[in-house]
Structure 1
Amino acid sequence: MIKLVFWMCIGWLFFPAHATKPTLNFYTEISPPGNYLDESGILVGSSVEMIEELNRIASYRVKSHVFPWTRAYQKVLKRPNSAIFSISRTPQREDLFHWVGPLLRVKWVLYKHRDSQIEIANLDDAKQLTSIAATRNDAKADYLLSLGFKNLDLSEDNIGRMRKLYANHNDVILTSNLGVERLAELALQDPEHLEIALEVKSSDIYLAFNKETDQQIIDDYKRAFEVLQKSPIYYEILVKWYGEKATHEIFQSIGLKWAFTERTYH
């Protein structure tokens, strides 16, 4: 059932808008915990909740679609008044979209199974691995390819990639630090069996609009993001999905003041 929903439009998941505003089309992939389908086939996740709030503040009705990453990316490139989330902002993509965010900052990490004997100290070591599981046309994979990596096992099945790591079909998996535990759980694996092999770099992720989208829409969403980021709702969403300590680190990484709690972290 999930596979059927995966290829289809999810439906009217977000808030209604003023009658004179156009309906927007937003595209995403299955990439927990930012965006994925729950057991009922409903699109959920930290990024989904942020987007819902942006739609509410900006007062637009949005139709949400879930596709494999490459298809979602290509559709937004070709369709005005559409957007994709969550997407890394890279120099190669800079002029292809209008950018709203950053929603948050993530680390690109190579993870291994804890029973693995693999030890890598840098990216040159990683080039010598037999196989690295990565997502096709993803910014993380593209970054390694630009550095001359020849050992990437590329697919668009994020859950399947995690299962292959646990089955020892790949040496490591390239993914973000904030989503790896939930991804392992969806693959029916124990996230406690994952270990960091190497931190690659950090990246900000965004909501990105088609370049031909009406400027008024872009302006509305940029203003909405400013409102959201200054509100307790933004903090509450992050705490819900990532916990308080990780949320504190996210706030620090993107230069936000810690304004919504007086708790101390160790």
Structure 2
Amino acid sequence: MKSFILISIMFCFVIATAVNASQAPLSIENTTFYTESYPPANYIENGKIKGLSVDTLKAMWKHLNMAEQEIFVVPWARGYRFTLDNPNTVLFTMSRTPSRDKLFKWVGPIFNSTHVLIAKKSKGFKFEHLGQTFDYSVATVTGDISEISLQQVGFPTENMANISTLEQAYLMTKADRVDMFVISMHGFNHLSSQLNIDQNDFEVVWEINTIGNYFAFNINTPDEIIQSYQNAFDQIKKQRLKIKSDYE
């Protein structure tokens, strides 16, 4: 009889474990999400947050049978600091670089970004090697991966004009206050759509790098939460492709 009871208990435990494996861990809903305004990944339109990464996250929540969580839109540097220092926090969309790799736990990649230097065609820039760009001024978004990418290739900091938004970077370039601005190709295409920019007036003068973009979780996040999100991410592949096509 005791053996039968023990077997029954073990059977129920296995069934419960199998059921829970497809659901979110109980603590998963205590996570705080931060993002910045950086289209087309994440941005505010008509008072609502949207974007490629935002829609992907919402699809993951739905797959996990979770209610949508609140997403806080903050300056990048603040969101980075909050996520680095506080448990149960996530920042997106973050490029996964070697220097950041061991500072966070990662879910993705959501998409890849190619970062480029863009100038007005009227400038007539023709660079044969990276070092030739160092003599010109570039508008960069403070703390953004595009700025970090420039720093990593040795671009002189004295020639970098640090601003807070992509729109400011574009306007400074348009007004000839700087020679170029740095941005991802995704970002430039979306910015062009939002501001009615004639792309024929601008050109890519140098390609800096291509980097994968992820949801970055605080390093102390339990591995089962990371695995739940990564499993959800992997299992909604068809939805992710549809979301990418909607924004690209």
TM-score by length of structure 1 reads 0.78
The CA distance in 2 between the partners of 1:18 and 1:41, in whole Å, is 31
- Look up the SS of the partner of 1:56 in the other structure: helix
Q: Against the structure 1 CA distance between its residues 157 and 174, is the aligned structure 2 distance closer, same or farther, given a 3 Å change threshold?
A: same
Give the corresponding residue for 1:25: 32
The structure with higher relative contact order (CA 8 Å, sep 6+) is: 2
The higher radius of gyration belongs to: 2
Report % sequence identity.
28
The CA distance in 2 between the partners of 1:66 and 1:152, in whole Å, is 25
Deviation at 1:187, TM superposition (A): 4.2
Please say if 1:238 is aligned against 2:244.
yes
Give the corresponding residue for 1:193: 201
1:129-177 per-residue CA deviation (whole Å, 9 max, x = no partner) reads 1x11112122222232233322211222221111111111111111111
What residue identity is the alignment partner of 1:82? Answer: T
1:196-233 per-residue CA deviation (whole Å, 9 max, x = no partner) reads 1111111111111011123221111011111022xx21
Give the corresponding residue for 1:36: 43
Are the counterparts in 1 of residues 149 and 209 from structure 2 also a CA contact under 8 Å? no
The CA distance in 2 between the partners of 1:217 and 1:21, in whole Å, is 6
Please say if 1:142 is aligned against 2:148.
yes
Deviation at 1:21, TM superposition (A): 4.6
Are the counterparts in 1 of residues 118 and 180 from structure 2 also a CA contact under 8 Å? yes
211, 214, 219: which is aligned to 2:227? 219
Please say if 1:158 is aligned against 2:166.
yes
Deviation at 1:112, TM superposition (A): 1.0
- Look up the SS of the partner of 1:178 in the other structure: helix
Give 1:241-252 correspondences, 5 Å limit: 241-242=247-248
Deviation at 1:48, TM superposition (A): 1.1
Give the corresponding residue for 1:181: 189
- Look up the SS of the partner of 2:29 in the other structure: coil
The structure carrying a bigger helix percent of its residues is 2
Are the counterparts in 2 of residues 21 and 60 from structure 1 also a CA contact under 8 Å? no
Deviation at 1:76, TM superposition (A): 1.1
Pairs aligned (count): 222
The CA distance in 1 between the partners of 2:28 and 2:95, in whole Å, is 28
What residue identity is the alignment partner of 1:101? Answer: G
Deviation at 1:23, TM superposition (A): 2.9
- Look up the SS of the partner of 2:241 in the other structure: helix
The CA distance in 2 between the partners of 1:118 and 1:21, in whole Å, is 50
What residue identity is the alignment partner of 2:36? Answer: E
The CA distance in 2 between the partners of 1:190 and 1:27, in whole Å, is 32
Are the counterparts in 2 of residues 69 and 137 from structure 1 also a CA contact under 8 Å? yes
- Look up the SS of the partner of 1:212 in the other structure: coil
The CA distance in 1 between the partners of 2:206 and 2:27, in whole Å, is 50
- Look up the SS of the partner of 2:236 in the other structure: helix
Deviation at 1:46, TM superposition (A): 1.2
- Runs of 5+ consecutive residues of structure 1 not aligned to the other structure: 1-16, 243-266
Are the counterparts in 1 of residues 150 and 208 from structure 2 also a CA contact under 8 Å? no
Please say if 1:132 is aligned against 2:144.
no
RMSD across aligned positions (CA): 1.9
- Runs of 5+ consecutive residues of structure 2 not aligned to the other structure: 1-23
The CA distance in 1 between the partners of 2:139 and 2:80, in whole Å, is 20
TM-score by length of structure 2 reads 0.83
Are the counterparts in 2 of residues 35 and 43 from structure 1 also a CA contact under 8 Å? yes
The CA distance in 2 between the partners of 1:218 and 1:19, in whole Å, is 13
77, 84, 88: which is aligned to 1:77? 84
81, 86, 111: which is aligned to 2:93? 86
